[in-house]
Every structure is written in C-alpha cells, then in structure tokens.
A and B are shown apart, each in its own frame.
Chain A
Amino acid sequence: MTDEIDPSHIDPSLWRGLSQPRYSRRQMLKYTGMGAGTLGLAAFLAACGTKGALPSGGGASALPNAGVGTASWWNKQTLHHQLEFANWPYYIDVSHGKHPSLIKFTQETGIKVDYREVIQDNTGFFAKIQPSLQAGQPTGYDIIVMTNNSPALGYLKEFGWLTPLDHSKMPNFDKYASPLVKNPSWDHGNRYTMAWQSGYTCMAYNTDEIKTPITSVQSLFDPTYKGHIGMMSDPQELGSVGLLATNVKPATSTQAQWKAAADKLNSQKSAGLVRNYYDQSYINALKNGDTVISMAWSGDIFQANLSGYKNLKAVIPTEGAMFWTDNMCIPLYAANPLDAMTYMDYVYNPSVQAVIEDYNNYVCPVPAAQDVIRTQLKDPVVANSPLVFPTASMVALSRPYYQYKNQTELNAWNNLFVPITE
C-alpha cells in the first residue's frame, strides 16, 4: 500500500543510520557553500553601504549642503502650503484632540501642518534619518527638533545635513527671542537653529523625606541618602554634573578636569550611593519614593507638582544648572523649506508662544510671552513660575554644555562617562 520499507525487516544498524543524520562531507560542503554565498552577498552589500558621512575630499566646499541656504538659494524657494513637522511628544498645546496653535497658523498663512510626534530621543531619531541623508534622500520632514546637548545635533551640522536659515525672514526671532537662545554657544549666529523650548537639568528632592532645604549639587554625593540617589544615564548630563560638582564650568573645561569629574562619579558609584542611572524614568523613582534626591529636568517637576506630587521640589544649585535647548532646524533635502522658515519665525510671536508655553511648562524662549499668559490667558501658575520664566539670578546660574570640537573629543568624553553607567 505504501512505498515505505517494512520496518520489521531492517537491520538495526541500518535503521540507526537511516534515522540519525550525520554530518557527511556532502553536508559540510552544502553548509559551507550556502554560508559562503550569504556571506559573500552580504559582504558585497556591506562594502556598498559603509561610506562615511563626510565626502572623501573633506572640506566645507564639499559638504552636501554647500550652496544650500545662501541668499540666492532662498530667493528661489516658494511656499508650498505644506509642512512636515517632527517633534517630541506632548510638546505643544493640545485641546480636544487638536492643536489650536497649529490650526491658527494654518488659518493665518494657509500652510497645512502635518505634525508628527516621532522623536523619542536624539540619537535614536538621528539613527533613523541618517541612512536617508547619507543616501542623498529627503527625510520626509521639514522641521525637526534636536537638543543641543546631544552629539546628534553636532553630527547634523558637521556633516552638512542642515539647511542654513534665512535671516531675512526672522523678524519675530530678532525682536522677541530671549538672550539665552540668541547667538548661542552651540550655533553661533543662529545659522541653523531656532530654539523651541529650553529647560534646566537641575536637582529635585522629596520634601517629605528631606527636611533641610537643598542648595548644592554636593548633596547628590551625600552619604546620608545612600542608595536613594538618582543620576542620569545620558553621558553629557552625567559628565556635566560631575564637572559642576568639582566646581568647574563645563563649557570651558579641559580633559584633565573631565578625568577628575569621572573619578568623583566613580567613587560615588562604588560607595553605593546611587540607586540607578536613569533615562527619563528618573521621575517615576522620585514619585514612588524610591529615590529621595535626583538629577531632574525642570519641566518634569513642574508637571509632577500639578499631578498630585506636591512634595517634589526643583532646585537650581549654587554651582549652576545645565541649560539645554531643544532646537528647530531644517534638515537637508527638505521639501518645503520656506514653509518651515515661516513657521519657525511665527512661533516667536509672543501671543503665539504664550499658548504653546501654557501647556508646555518648560523654559520659554520668548520672555514677552509672560505678560500674555498672565493677562490674557489668566494663568498665574505658569506666568509666575521661575521654572518657565527664569529670574535674573537663575539666568546667571545657567550653564551651557561643552561643545566638542571633533569626534576624538566626543569619544574621549564618552569613554570616561559611559562606563560609569554600565
């Protein structure tokens, strides 16, 4: 009936041989062949795709954005009435499922905005758009928002992947922008970027557990709070706080000072003081009471206070707090650069900014918005908050980040501080 061999007539050794595959020479050749084939194809493709970001000639004239963003280039641009805006989540006003400020923008200018909250972190987003930029393709976005303390923004500038801004179209910015974001250290003359929102990396503590007011960054190294101290895992933040704790201003620090800061952080770690090195989830540990003192972002604490956690208090220490800025910029090959410029400057109008700021609660780049929020939007909590509109003393305590001159410096910094978090 079947064409199989009748089992009862088989010699046991043959049975064993039939049922147990052994690696014969033929199979070895087969596997090697297939393996070599795959490796060969992959190697070929690998060799195709690992060009450097910089063109082989080097030099500014050979950068991809050479000739882009000049006055004559901008003169040729027209409005397309379409804008692809990539931003961080929950970073703009929202009401009943819509963004009122964006709707108003469309009404006033006729530009339709496709707002996408696709940026979760700088390096991750950079890794996503890098292949397109490297291949000379549009990323699909006209405005992206990158933080100044991340290497990603530095790479974008260095590789020539940003479109220089049109300074003739920035009247609102010139008039209303805060001095903290005008001509900043990370982008002299605002060649590529305009600030979206800023914030402080400061300290926060639980007033229920810690009764004496905290004023210094040294409290993060206090053995009294052993095992309940939260630090950030981002190497730029961690290294900067280490520098502040050794009384060094990060923006002008030297590599020897970095080493001293790293030593301090390492002894903090080996003494068991740190509970964990957190990304943005430090706030959960603070809220739940697992950490009593932590590095923190100003806006998070503001939000937490409004969410029922009134016992958390943000502190700008006497050594200073790192001041970071999320910046709008126009990636290369953007389809609608003029529409992007229009929006970027529009946002610096105080009445526009007031609406956005009222939801945002980070540091506002337009000081004139404070009055608008107080009088027109009638929100004294936000208007009077120093975390949103810093006082003069806070401005004096704002510390910019160190700007790396080249990849070697960045690697040196990372090699010192990344292993602490591991």
Chain B
Amino acid sequence: MEQPVRADHGVAVRRKPKGRAGKRLAPYLLSLPGGFWLIVLFLIPLVMMLFFALETGDVLHGYQLTWNWGEFGQQLSLHKTEFLRSIWYAGAATIICLIVSFPLAYWIAFHGGKWKNFFLLMLLVPFFVSFIIRSLAWQFILSDQGIVLGTLKNLHLLPQNFHILATSTAVIAGIAYNYLPFTALPLYVAMERIDYRLIEAAGDLYSSRREAFMRVVFPLTIPGIFAAFLLTFVPAVGDYLNQQILGGVSNTMIGTIIQTDFLTTQDYPAAAALSAILLAGVLVLIFLYGRLLGSRTIEEYV
C-alpha cells in the first residue's frame, strides 16, 4: 500500500497551538451569543414579570413588593381544573403526534431517498400560512352541517346532534395538527443519523424485522423522541389559541386564563403567579420524564 499523501506535504507542522487554553475557552465562546441572548432578552425580562406574583396593587396605584407567597396557593386552587385539563389535552395531543409522526419520520429517514427533502419541506410549508387562515378553514370543514359532518349526517351515519367543534376532541385534534411538524422534525433528525447498516447487521444476526426494530432502532431513537416530546408537549400546555377557536364552554386551558388575567382583568399578580406555576410544573415534568427513560440524566438525551 502506498504511503498516504500528507496534507501538509511532508513539511512538519506543529500540532495546532490551540492547546489547553483554547479548549477551555471553546465552550464559553460557543455558548456566549446564545447564552447572552437568552439571559438578557428572555430570562431577565421574564423574571421581572414573574415578580408581579409577589406584589400587590393595581394598575392605578402601582405595585409593591410584598412577598405575597399566598398568591401562588390561591391561584393554584382556583384554577387546578384548568391546569390538569391543559396537561391532559397537551399530553393526549403529544402522544397522537408521536404515533403519527414516528412512521412518517421513519420512512423519510430510511427510505426517503431523493424524496427526503421534499417531504420534509412539505411537512412545514402548510404552517407558513397564517394560523388564523388554517383555523378558519378547519372551522368551515368541520362545521356541524359542513362538508364532512353534513354529508355523514345526510347518510344517517351520524346522529343529527353530533358535533366535533366545541368539544375537547376538537381541541386535542387542533393541537395535534398544529404541532405535528415540531414532533416529526426532531424524530427525523434523530433517526437520520442512525446508520442503516446497524439494521442490516441485526438482520445478519438472525433477528426478525420486529426484533431489529425494537432492539436496535427504537432505543437509538429515544433522544429524538425526547426532543420531539419536549418541543410538542411543553409549548402545547400553555397554548390557548386552539381552544379559543375550536373549543367550547368547558374546554378552557390555563393559557386562556393567563391571557384573560393579563389583558381583560389586568390582574398582573395572578397572571404572573399562574405563569410561574406553569413553568415550574413543566420543569418538574421534564425532569421526571427524563428519569423515567433510564438512568441517564436529561443532558445526555437532549
């Protein structure tokens, strides 16, 4: 075998003098812009706003920092139904998204070939069109006497009183629809880096296709599932637009309450307390979920 040509063409080159100092600085330099942006333009304003939870007063007379910890307890007991309902809706929608997206991401990653980018783009393109337009269209499609339900009712396949809109099903379906790309994309990204030869190797070792999937592919996709869950469930819990447009009387989610407190009743301490509880609850859930997936820590997965 001939001698490989050295990139430096035989001239002795000293190892890149980045050395220890460079290595130590690297993570800070890399994370500096992101960290700075997140802290200055997100964390500090957010914490400022959350401080309203501990203050008392009103718009007219201003707010005083009274360390009113009782506000949290009060808001929690007032709205625990909405909290639980939001978790239920978001959780159901996330599971639906995961189930729907998994085969989708699987096929695109492993068998997509030249169609890969096409399908990925087409997953997102409908969502470039404004949310309001999509929702208006869904309201029209799913209306009680509309194209879908009206036809089914005329064929007597459904009772006359049946309706999809203004039910919790509609809200869950709406959330699942609107967050689908946020589930499918991370799943795809994680699957795409799995080497297909691993599956072939499993086949060579006499495993059936199902076994190959369960014991080789699936465990390797767990980081993707976790990322997909995170990017779907977490924003969905605080979402309120789907419920406002597709829901009915008893479908109120916690996001709506926060919005009403903020804008209509201008009860900033209540809104801030609810937001803080929501954020804390979500962090706890993420932590528990990460633990549940195995003995590894969250950082390993995401």
Contacts and interface: CB of A to CB of B under 8 A. Distances in A.
Interface of A: 20-21, 38-39, 41-43, 45-47, 49-54, 121, 123-124, 127, 130, 151, 155, 158-159, 227, 234-235, 269, 272, 274-277, 279, 281, 284-285, 288-290, 407, 411, 414-415, 418, 421-422
Given A52-B57, A123-B264, A288 B140 contact: yes
Contacts of A422: 82, 252, 256-257, 260
Question: Which 6 pairs of residues, A with B, have the shortest CB-CB distance?
Answer: A52-B62, A288-B143, A42-B47, A46-B51, A50-B63, A52-B61
Contacts of A290: 139, 143-144, 163, 165-166
Interface of B: 39, 43-44, 47-48, 51-52, 55, 57-65, 82, 136, 139-140, 143-146, 161, 163, 165-166, 244-245, 247-249, 252, 256-257, 260, 262-266, 296-297, 299
Contacts of A43: 51, 65
A38 B44 contact: yes
A64 to B, nearest CB: 13
B264 A235 contact: yes
18 contacts: A38-B39, A42-B51, A43-B65, A46-B48, A52-B58, A123-B266, A275-B249, A279-B244, A281-B245, A284-B139, A288-B139, A288-B143, A288-B144, A289-B146, A290-B165, A407-B59, A422-B252, A422-B257
B260 A418 contact: yes
Nearest to B20: A3
Given A45-B44, A281-B244, 19 more contacts: A46-B47, A50-B57, A51-B62, A52-B59, A52-B60, A52-B61, A54-B60, A130-B59, A155-B59, A275-B249, A276-B249, A288-B140, A288-B143, A288-B144, A290-B139, A414-B264, A414-B265, A418-B265, A422-B260
A123 to B, nearest CB: 4
Contact of A41 (B44, B144, B256, B260): B44
Contacts of B82: 422
A407 B265 CA distance: 10
A361 to B, nearest CB: 21
Contacts of B297: 20-21
A64 B265 CA distance: 24
Contacts of A284: 136, 139-140
Contact of A54 (B61, B161, B166): B61
Contact of B48 (A49, A123, A274): A49
Contacts of B144: 288-290
Given A275-B248, A288-B140, A123 B39 contact: no
A124 B51 contact: no
Contacts of A235: 264
A53, A288, A415, A421 pick with most chain B CB within 10 angstroms: A288
B146 A53 contact: no
Contact of B264 (A50, A159, A418): A418
Nearest to B79: A422
Given A42-B44, A46-B51, A289-B143, A159 B248 contact: no
Contacts of A285: 139
Nearest to B246: A276
Contacts of B47: 38-39, 42, 46
Nearest to A208: B145
A50 B55 contact: yes
Nearest to A39: B47
Given A45-B48, A123-B263, A288-B144, A159 B43 contact: no
Contacts of B264: 123, 234-235, 414, 418
Nearest to B62: A52
Nearest to A44: B48
A130 B63 CA distance: 15
A302 B245 CA distance: 23
Contacts of B64: 50
A157 to B, nearest CB: 12
Contact of A275 (B161, B166, B262, B296): B166
A85 to B, nearest CB: 24
Contacts of B143: 288-290
A279 B82 CA distance: 20
Contacts of B57: 50, 52
Contacts of A279: 244
Nearest to A35: B47
Contacts of A123: 263-264, 266
A20 B249 CA distance: 48
A53 to B, nearest CB: 5
A340 B261 CA distance: 34
Contacts of B55: 46, 50
A119 B65 CA distance: 32
A130 B249 CA distance: 32
